[in-house]
Homo-oligomer: A and B are copies of this chain.
Amino acid sequence: MARPPTPRAGSPHMDIELMKQLEFTDDGSARRLRGVSGRLVAAIVTDIASPFYSEVNRVTEDRLAEDHCMMLMCGIGLQADQEARMLTWLQEQGVRGIVISPVRDDLTRLQEISGRGTPVVLLDRLPGRADLCAVSVDHRAGGILAGEHLLRLGHRRIAFLGPSPVTVTAVKERRQGLREAMRDAGLDPDRDLVDIRVPAPNLVEAADAAVNMIVTMKDPVTAIACMNDMTALGVLQGLGRHGVHVPEEISVIGYDDVTFASRLAPALSTIRQPTHALGRTAAELLLEEAEPGHQHRTARFQPQLIVRASTAKAG
């Protein structure tokens, strides 16, 4: 029997050739059961087809690969129960870590998972009272940026397109920033900011449909602030269908600055999030968290206003 190249402790001489002949496959479950930690890192995301999160996660994935972790992305379709089910399942699998942008406000479940030794990093969301690692963008500042830009252009009545119930903290903050900017300009957000609900999933279709309400409003808005670029895409589509010209008749601003934002018709004004920094930092916090005397940290980045062609002076 030939000697194996690297006879691991305890293993009897194993004939590599023979193993191949028998189509032998190592059993990961047995190894994990024995106490060896797994290499699966899960990135939980509301929508697997969200271009923004995908871009962030690609960066995270690359960084994690350097440390021999496999990052898989899982979608949960904005459903809290689905999120819970996914977490339970991942916990049972003994994952190496979790990157998540939670749909629920309540973080106790994640707090518990983290406390039990599984690294958890919040993405695009602050931990609040919870003791967790987080990577986020100052969304209130982002909302203010969008608001000030619109206000500077003379808009006085603005629509905000967000998800059905605004449970997602990041969106809540963007909306609050927007309201704050309006208040600072002497407007009353309760009257001059009109909330339009865009039910998930399939944001672009929902936003497209929401335009029907916007164009038939008795007291019309002159600008639309969208929770993200996908929503803005839907709005552009809907407006196009109704023959409304952007930005001449109405201004549209997005959020994220995804790859295609600059090439839309018209080129989308938006609030850029630092994709690369978010993704890389998320990976690094996750890795750090596995180390001995770890303290939870929050990394916070600033958004940036990108002015393109979809916003203009209020007619």
Interface residues, chain A, CB within 8 Å of chain B?
Answer: 23, 25-33, 39-40, 42, 47-49, 51, 54-55, 57-58, 61-62, 70-75, 77, 86, 89, 91-94, 112, 116, 204, 230, 233, 236-237, 240, 259-260, 262-267
Contacts and interface: CB of A to CB of B under 8 A. Distances in A.
19 contacts: A23-B112, A25-B91, A27-B92, A27-B94, A29-B33, A49-B51, A49-B55, A70-B74, A204-B259, A233-B263, A236-B263, A240-B263, A260-B260, A260-B264, A263-B264, A264-B264, A264-B265, A265-B266, A265-B267
A273 to B, nearest CB: 15
Dominant secondary structure at the A interface: helix
Nearest to A51: B51
Contacts of A28: 29, 89, 92-94
Given A28-B89, A32-B29, A73 B72 contact: yes
Contacts of A42: 72
Given A33-B33, A91-B25, A260-B264, A48 B74 contact: no
Nearest to A42: B72
Top 6 nearest A-B pairs (CB, nearest first) are A265-B265, A28-B92, A72-B72, A49-B54, A29-B29, A29-B32
A233 B204 contact: no
A109 B62 CA distance: 25
A54 B53 CA distance: 12
A24 to B, nearest CB: 11
Contacts of A31: 92
Contacts of A237: 262-263
A58 B54 contact: no
A266 B265 CA distance: 7
A74 B73 contact: yes
Contacts of A72: 42, 72-74
Contacts of A266: 265
Nearest to A232: B263
Contacts of A33: 27, 29-30, 33
A198 to B, nearest CB: 15
Nearest to A264: B263
Given A29-B93, A48-B73, A233-B263, 6 more contacts: A29-B30, A29-B32, A40-B93, A72-B73, A230-B259, A260-B260
A265 B61 CA distance: 31
Nearest to A50: B54
Contact of A70 (B62, B89, B263): B89
A133 to B, nearest CB: 20
Contacts of A265: 263-267
A74 to B, nearest CB: 5
Contact of A259 (B73, B74, B233): B233
Contacts of A75: 58, 61, 73
Contacts of A89: 28, 39, 70
Most chain B Cβ neighbours within 10 Å, of A25, A31, A93: A93
